[in-house]
Each structure stands twice: as C-alpha cells, then as structure tokens.
Amino acid sequence: MHPKISTETADLIHRLPKTETHLHIEGALPYALLQSLDPERFAAPQACWAPDFKWLCFEDFEAHLIEHAVQWFTTPERYHEAAKVIFAGHLAQNVRYVETSFHAGIIEFLGIPGPEILDAIRAAVPEGLEVRVFMGMARNSYNATLAPVLEDCMTWDGLAGIDLHGIESLPLEAWTPKLWKKARDHGLITKAHAGEFGPAAHVREAIEVLGVQRIQHGIRAVEDPAVVELAIRKGVTFDVCPISNVKLDVIDTLEAHPIRRFFDQGLRCTVSTDDPFSFGNSLEDEYAALSAGLKFSNDELKQVAKNGFEVALVDAATRVGWMAEVDAV
C-alpha cells in the first residue's frame, strides 16, 4: 500500500527516527527468502500486496501466513537469517527501536526450544537498532505440551515479555490472568491483542483482568467511549496497525480508521506493520497512510514517533536522546 503524499512529507517520514512495536516475526518473513527456497513457486508478487486487497476473514489470512511461515521457520538458524533481513529493513527506514514477537505455537509444532528462537533473533540485532523480543501465545495455548513452556519462559534470558495472539473469538481462559501477573512479577512486560475482531469489552478485559498497559490494535474500543476513557485514565498505549486493519476489513477504509479520534482524544497510539508478509506494507507506508488518509500533520507524525519512544523499554538517557532527534527533524 503506497498512499499518495507530497515529496516533502515522504522525506520527513523517512528522516524521522521511528519505532515499530507491533510486529510478528513470522509475519514479517522476507519474501526473497522464500524465493530462495523455490524461485519458481514464489516467482510472482503476492496478490495480497495490492493496495485494494481485502482478506476474506482472519482465518483465511492466518492460514495463508502459517502455510508460508512454516516452510521457512524450521530451525533457530532460519529465525536468525530472517531477523537479519527484517532488522536491516528497519535501519533502512530510520527505525531505532523494535518490539517483535515469535509465536509459541512454533515450539509445539516444530519442536524448536523457545530460548533458541529467542537467542537466534537477539543475535541478529544490528548496531544502531534496539530490539525487544516477546513470546506470543494463542488464547487456547495452555495445553499439555505448551503449559510448562509458558510457565518457564519467565526465566529465559532476554525475553522482554509476553503477548496474547491469534483468533480473538476464543474466550479468555482462567490460566491467562494468572500467567500475565506472574510475568509482571518477574519483571516482564505484558501485552494483549484485543479489540481487533473482538468488541470493546475485550479491551476493557485486557486492561482490567489481564492488567496490560499495552494493547495490540484496540481499535474497536471506539465503539464504547467509556473504554477509551478507561485506557486514557490508566495510561494504556495502543500499538495500532492501520493498513492491517483495512486489509483485514476490520475497518472499511483508511479514512474511517479510529486512530485519528484516539489521537485527538489523547490516547497514546503508535503505528506498526503487524504482518508485512501478508499486507505488503512498510513502516513508512503506515506513516504515509496517517498523512494521506487521516490528515495527520507533519507535527502529528512526529508525535506518533515520540509515542513509540515514550513506551520503549530503554534507559532514560537513550529515550531523551531519541526524543531530541525527533525534535530536530
């Protein structure tokens, strides 16, 4: 998706130091790596990259992504190789800080130990980029194989936190609030996908029952002003992915996206690409979408970048330095 913006704004977006805080590493699989496996089969660009493409439903999107991701992500070395390409793409867009998650389901399906995936991703971080790695899990992940892994992950060296992923229509199970509290007690950051396909009540549940300060998407909170007010009062941040929301048809058009209203109301929002493998978007496209579709001024784009640095898991001096760099653009 390449929304039309002026050269001046495109230049500002490029030069702006940025963050990306909602990125699934399997969903960021560089297509060129798949092409290297099978140049014939993956010769053509994907149809889902077309600007006006809409996925039929979340399940359709997820099946396509898993079908491709499992062909690449078979070993820790493959995670490392993909992460190197992904992070180089961040540096090329002047991104300074990234939060990415890997999916716990891989541990179950392919039998790769979680700490090895974590180490492989962290070892791929280039100079000039700060990366925090999260483990994502589905609402029904707590089975005989994964439960011990999820309980143990608090002790993994270098894991920044956990995130709740996947099909949002599944109910929140009793293990989840307990695990989320345990993670925070161990100093981890907790996130949850909520209010994407699910109602505003899911956002309230993520804040009040799971206790998260970081909501992934959260956009359907717009349907209940009291939930938006709750998120603002509690200082919660929404890590929003506008192009993902339009292509998954959570929102009809970019122009109707609630991030404009959230921003105007004082709810802290960041922007990210979510799963660029399936949307064909870059982080600069997301900023361009805010500018072209939602009339964010250049100063407002700078504030969106600052929002990411405000929640970044770094020391105060690093944060102050990045803020000053944004101001200087």
Catalytic center residues = 196
Residues making up the chain, counted from first to last: 329
Nearest to 251 by CA among 202, 195, 301: 195
Residue 295 backbone zone (phi > 0: left; psi -120 to 50: alpha; other: beta): left
Closer residue to Zn ion in complex, CB, 268/302: 268
Choose between 3 and 218: whose C-beta lies nearer to Zn ion.
218
Euclidean distance between CA atoms 321 and 19, whole angstroms: 14
Distance CA 190, CA 135 (A): 10
State the burial class of residue 200 (Cβ atoms within 10 Å of its Cβ: 0-12, 13-18, 19+): buried
- For Zn ion, give the closer residue by CB, 119 or 274: 274
| 183 contacts: CB under 8 Å, gap ≥ 6 | 154, 161, 162, 190
Give the list of residues 6+ apart from residue 99 with CB closer than 8 angstroms, or none: 19, 20, 21, 22, 23, 131, 132, 133, 134, 160, 239, 313
5 versus 246: smaller Cβ distance to Zn ion: 246
* Strand-pair category, 189-194 with 214-217: parallel
Please state, in angstroms and rounded to a whole number, the distance separating the CA atoms of residues 54 and 63: 15
**Least distance from C-beta 315 to Zn ion, angstroms?**
27
Of 90 and 302, CB closest to Zn ion? 90
Tokens coding 263: 């921003």
Nearest approach in angstroms of CB 265 to Zn ion is: 23
Q: How far is the CB of 286 from Zn ion (least distance, A)?
A: 13
Complex with Zn ion: residue 5 or 136, whichever CB lies closer: 136
From residue 169, give the alpha-carbon distance in Å to each of 58, 199, 215.
11, 9, 16
CB of 248 to Zn ion, least distance (A): 10
CA torsion through residues 199, 135, 312, 6, sign: negative
Cβ at position 161, least distance to Zn ion in Å: 14
Secondary structure of 22-34 in the HEC alphabet?
Answer: EEECHHHCCHHHH
Q: What is the dihedral of CA 182, 150, 114, 319, to 10 degrees?
A: -30
Residues in contact with Zn ion by the rule CB under 5 A: 274
Output the smallest distance, CB 274 to Zn ion, in A: 5
CB of 142 to Zn ion, least distance (A): 20
Residue closer to Zn ion, measured from CB, 99 or 274: 274
